[in-house]
Amino acid sequence: MKIFLSLLIGSCFLGLVRAQPGACCVGATCSVAADAFSCAGTFQGAGTGCSPNPCPQPGACCLGTTCSVTADALTCAGIFQGGGTNCVPNICQGSCCDGVTCSETTSSGCPPKDIFGGLGTTCTPSPCGSGGSCCIGGSCAEVSSSLCSTFGGTFKDGVPCSPNPCVGACCSTTGCASTTQSNCLFGTYLGDGTLCSTPGICQASCCLGTTCSVATLASCANQFGISGALGTTCSPNPCTTEACCTGGACADVSPANCIAGGGLNQGPGSTCATTTSCTGACCASQGGCSQTTSSDCAASGGNFTSLGTPCSPNLCPATGACCNGDGNCVEVTQTFCEVTLGKNYGGDSTNCSILGICLASCCTGAGCTVATKDNCGDAFGTPGAFGSTCSPNPCSAACCTAGVCTDVTPADCTAGGGVSQGSGSTCATTNCTGACCAPQGECSDETQSDCAALGGGFRGIGTSCSSTDPCLQGAPEPPTRI
């Protein structure tokens, strides 16, 4: 009984499996089979279909440049290009440009100096010789601009590869070499397309003493001459002497020898007899001008103007009195005084001979005196600006005491029960009364003490009832009486 049930269950299970159809591949052909047992090829699994076709498709097989279609990668003796590929066009080869001529070959069959267009590219139409040259390093090929860009080259529109536009003449003391600009490390590159075969290509003026000849850089160097710039000639003669300033000394030598000796040429026709000077105005950092050489000026930390410039008129920054707190005075530039020394600058063209330039007014309890700022501080005073005096007196101020004004020091004002009106104020311009608002709202001009005695509210010294009535906004509460 148990065996019968097992066979029955197994049969039912197989029936369920067979009841699920799927794709069946016979070669590249796909059909739907009822189950794996009824598939004569490779069953792709229950529930699979033939759209899209899951069966391996034939494709192009490359053996060198020969292309054939095989059933799959396993039957390809060369390089399988993938299912669905074909041999039209032949994808086993590509275009190869050797300048102007195009040939179809493999990538390995295209010489390194030529440009391979890629598998599947053809020579119809030819991608070579399409209106310009392509420079990759020093190699040149006539290809299209797009193909040149693909390989990272530099395209020269309308320029053929003959003569080679990718290299140029490199002139040095060893001769002329045809190379790229990046490889012309120890010479002068004359530009792409320039040729060493061009007459006079690397020639320049060559000075042997005061005698001039036109020679190549290499030839001049072999004669121990001094070459001028490429392309220079002997007319006018660059080897004749000119005034040459070297370290403040003047010598009549050729421009080439002057430069070789670290000097500075004074120009054609100049001589040491007519040269103004091999020195110039040197502006010291702290101020002042001296006639010296550029090197000596730099060594002293100064600023050199130019050769031949005088100190009169003075081209250097202006100086002025620079005051210390103890009254000492030096004449320097404003920057040197304020930034370097941290002192007080009296102004351009001021000088230490001006009487009292580094003194100042000093306000103490005793009044005003003129003193150094240090002495004023020692006396617990308040100093004014450098050069200030006691006339007019900067230490007194208007003082209001019971409606009466006096010009006294703030300390004396406070001691006398008054109210100081601030530095610079005077009784000539100060009113010691103010608007007083009675509890009922009436306004009268009173002193602060009289207003308090009346029980009013004082609006402040200098306010007045003659202007807009300050009491209309409501009088303050009268002071509390004790």
Identify which of 418, 424, 367, 416 has the alpha carbon closest to the alpha carbon of residue 397: 424
Is the whole-model pTM more than 0.85? no
Q: Rounded mean pLDDT of the chain? A: 82
Give mean pLDDT, residues 186-205.
Answer: 89
For the chain, the residue count is: 482
Q: Are 343 and 324 in contact (CB under 8 A)?
A: yes
Q: Is 124 helix (H, G, I), strand (E, B) or coil?
A: coil
Q: What is the helix, strand, coil percentage profile of the chain, to 5? A: 15, 35, 50
Return the structure tokens found at 79: 């390089």
**Confidence at 131, pLDDT banded by 50, 70, 90:** low
Strand pairing partners for 206? 213, 227
Dump pLDDT digits (tens) for 202-231.
Answer: 888 888 877 889 988 888 889 888 888 888
Dump pLDDT digits (tens) for 40-54.
Answer: 989 999 989 999 989
pLDDT exceeds cutoff 60 at 478: no
Q: Is 66 helix (H, G, I), strand (E, B) or coil?
A: strand
Identify which of 159, 141, 160, 162 has the alpha carbon closest to the alpha carbon of residue 150: 141
Dump pLDDT digits (tens) for 307-324.
Answer: 778 888 888 888 888 988
Give mean pLDDT, residues 387-391.
Answer: 80
**Confidence at 179, pLDDT banded by 50, 70, 90:** very high
pLDDT exceeds cutoff 50 at 479: no
Dump pLDDT digits (tens) for 405-425.
Answer: 888 877 778 888 888 887 778
Phi, psi angle pair for 91, to nearest 5°: -90, 10
pLDDT at 276: 64
- Indicate the pairing of strand 66-70 with strand 188-192: unpaired
Q: Percentage of the chain with pLDDT > 90?
A: 7
Task: Report the distance separating Cα 155 and Cα 35, nearest Å.
Answer: 63
Residue 318 makes CB contacts below 8 A (sequence gap 6+) with 333, 334, 348, 349
Q: Percentage of the chain with pLDDT > 70?
A: 92
pLDDT at 99: 60
Task: Report the distance separating Cα 277 and Cα 123, nearest Å.
Answer: 75
**Measured CA distances, 392 to 266, 422, 425 (Å):** 61, 15, 12
Q: Which H or E run includes 227?
A: strand 226-230
**Confidence at 253, pLDDT banded by 50, 70, 90:** confident
Task: Report the distance separating Cα 337 and Cα 315, nearest Å.
Answer: 19
Q: Are 326 and 374 in contact (CB under 8 A)?
A: yes
pLDDT at 473: 60
Q: Are 319 and 289 in contact (CB under 8 A)?
A: no
- Indicate the pairing of strand 303-307 with strand 289-292: unpaired
How far, in whole angstroms, is CA 126 from its chain's centroid?
A: 48
Task: Report the distance separating Cα 278 and Cα 272, nearest Å.
Answer: 9
pLDDT at 31: 93
For 264-314, strand residue ranges (E) read 264-265, 280-283, 289-292, 303-307
pLDDT at 167: 93
236-257: burial string, b at 16+ Cβ within 10 Å, e else:
eebbebbbbbbebebbbbbbbb
The CA angle 253-258-260, to the nearest 5 degrees, is 135
**Confidence at 474, pLDDT banded by 50, 70, 90:** low
Task: Report the distance separating Cα 114 and Cα 94, nearest Å.
Answer: 12
Instruction: List, as one string, the DSSP characters of 80-114.
Output: EEEET--SSS-TT-EEEESSS-EEEE-TTTS-TTS
Give mean pLDDT, residues 448-461.
Answer: 86
Give mean pLDDT, residues 257-267.
Answer: 80
Lowest mean pLDDT among 4-18, 60-74, 338-352, 453-467: 4-18
